[in-house]
């Protein structure tokens, strides 16, 4: 972990964390704290390893381990928030036998939170601040190949996007739930509502321009090595994988060989 020294314009090492073949990091702000998720993929012998979530301790200016997640060939972390009180983490995993993205929800062990977790007389210590809370796995999504993930509020809905290299393997999932999570039936909270007719998707990102939502995807196929796709608010196809309206244009000029598909 490096800290930037503005006076000398240099980076200084402030902490070293042990990893096991880490391949991805995700940092995020949640509930007034800074977090770091590390995806441990392969230690030289095994792919079944624990990935680790850390929380920043402002008193010591270091990351402190918060929770471990058993994974199998962990590849990529993603954090997102939907509304004021719904926080999610997703971890994509890939081995020669299985490709899966697991979804976790931040919740209290005894939902709703017990009154004993409130601190009326004094501020909680670092250890007490989130006592009784943890990330609970709520859903597993099988994918055909190794996946990239993106998530957030898209088209005013809580969305999870999972992309893979095979044709028609890029899917959009939507949170289907109302009110607080009060039961253990988590299997169908994120439902697939769209499938994009793309192949060799190697990366994706959401962004907003004004009031319009966009999805950008990079395609790594030999036929279109620099292709990029924009999908605006899912097009007009509605649920079930409609493609909506689209147009194409070259993004690399006559010699660039790329194309842009705008939905």
What does each of the 263 residues of the chain score in pLDDT, given as a tens digit?
999 999 999 999 999 999 999 999 999 999 999 999 999 999 999 999 999 999 999 999 999 999 999 999 999 999 999 988 889 999 999 999 999 999 999 986 544 444 444 444 567 888 888 888 899 998 999 988 878 999 999 888 999 999 888 888 999 999 986 545 444 444 448 999 999 888 888 888 888 889 898 888 888 764 444 555 555 554 434 444 444 444 343 444 334 444 444 44
From 61, 74, 77, 62, select the one nearest 25 (Cα to Cα): 77
The C-alpha atoms of residue 229 and residue 58 are separated, in whole angstroms, by 41
* pLDDT at position 64: 97
> Exposed, middle or buried, 77 (CB in 10 Å: 0-12/13-18/19+)?
buried
- Compute the residue count for the chain: 263
Q: By the 8 A CB rule, do 94 and 24 touch? A: no
Q: Cα separation of 23 and 146, whole Å? A: 13
Give this prediction's pTM.
Answer: 0.79
- Cβ-Cβ contacts under 8 Å for 44 (sequence gap 6 or more): 21
Residue 211's contacts (CB-CB under 8 Å, 6 or more residues apart) are none
CA distance 190 to 138: 9
Is there a contact between 39 and 27 (Cβ–Cβ < 8 Å)?
A: no
């Amino acid at each position: 972990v490096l800290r930037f020294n503005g006076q000398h314009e240099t980076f200084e090492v402030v902490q070293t964390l042990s990893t096991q073949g880490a391949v991805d990091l995700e940092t995020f702000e949640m509930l007034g704290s800074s977090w770091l998720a590390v995806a441990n993929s392969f230690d030289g012998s095994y792919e079944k390893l624990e990935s680790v979530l850390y929380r920043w301790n402002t008193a010591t200016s270091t990351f402190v381990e918060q929770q471990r997640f058993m994974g199998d060939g962990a590849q990529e972390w993603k954090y997102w928030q939907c509304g004021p009180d719904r926080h999610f983490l997703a971890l994509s995993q890939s081995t020669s036998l299985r490709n899966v993205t697991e979804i976790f929800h931040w919740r209290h062990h005894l939902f709703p939170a017990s009154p004993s977790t409130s601190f009326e007389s004094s501020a909680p210590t670092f250890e007490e601040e989130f006592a009784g809370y943890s990330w609970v796995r709520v859903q597993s999504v099988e994918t055909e190949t190794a996946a990239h993930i993106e998530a957030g509020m898209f088209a005013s809905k809580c969305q999870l996007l999972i992309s893979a290299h095979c044709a028609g393997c890029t899917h959009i999932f939507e949170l289907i739930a109302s009110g607080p999570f009060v039961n253990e039936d988590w299997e169908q909270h994120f439902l697939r509502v769209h499938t994009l007719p793309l192949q060799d998707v190697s990366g994706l990102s959401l962004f907003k321009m004004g009031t319009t939502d966009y999805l950008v995807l990079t395609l790594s196929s030999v036929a279109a090595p620099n292709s990029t796709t924009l999908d605006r608010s899912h097009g007009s196809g509605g649920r079930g994988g409609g493609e909506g309206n689209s147009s194409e244009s070259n993004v690399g000029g006559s010699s660039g060989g790329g194309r842009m598909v705008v939905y």
